[in-house]
Amino acid sequence: MRKNIYSILRGKFLVSDDSFKNWRMIIFISVLAIIMIASAHSADQKVYEIARLKNEAKELRSAFVDGRSQLMRLKMESSIIKKVVEKGIIISEIPPQKIKVKTQN
């Protein structure tokens, strides 16, 4: 047993007469390892991309909510009155009346 371990450590299985089978297996295992490493890197990149897109979606959602709240403040009657008064237009004291139009047949 000691002799077998010593021959493996010295690499005799790579230079012996039937070493072609061993080389094929080593190359096959190496190709599988490279494919596995590439797949792991690809999965990691996708995870980072998903995290980046989630953060971007949160930022866009908060910007949307902020814009919507600003719009609601601008549409309030008090803010409209302030803007109109700045331009010199006063608000009518007489309430509006409905005009009814009757069509003639």
pLDDT tens per residue, the chain (105 residues)? 777 787 777 777 777 777 777 788 889 999 999 999 999 999 999 999 999 999 999 999 999 999 999 999 999 988 888 888 888 888 888 988 899 988 887
| Rounded Cα distance, 66 and 75, in Å | 14
What pLDDT is attached to residue 29? Answer: 94
| Rounded Cα distance, 100 and 35, in Å | 80
How many CB atoms lie under 10 A from the CB of residue 26? 13
Q: How many residues does the chain have?
A: 105
DSSP assignment of 52-66 equals HHHHHHHHHHHHHHH
What pLDDT is attached to residue 93? Answer: 86
What pLDDT is attached to residue 42? Answer: 96
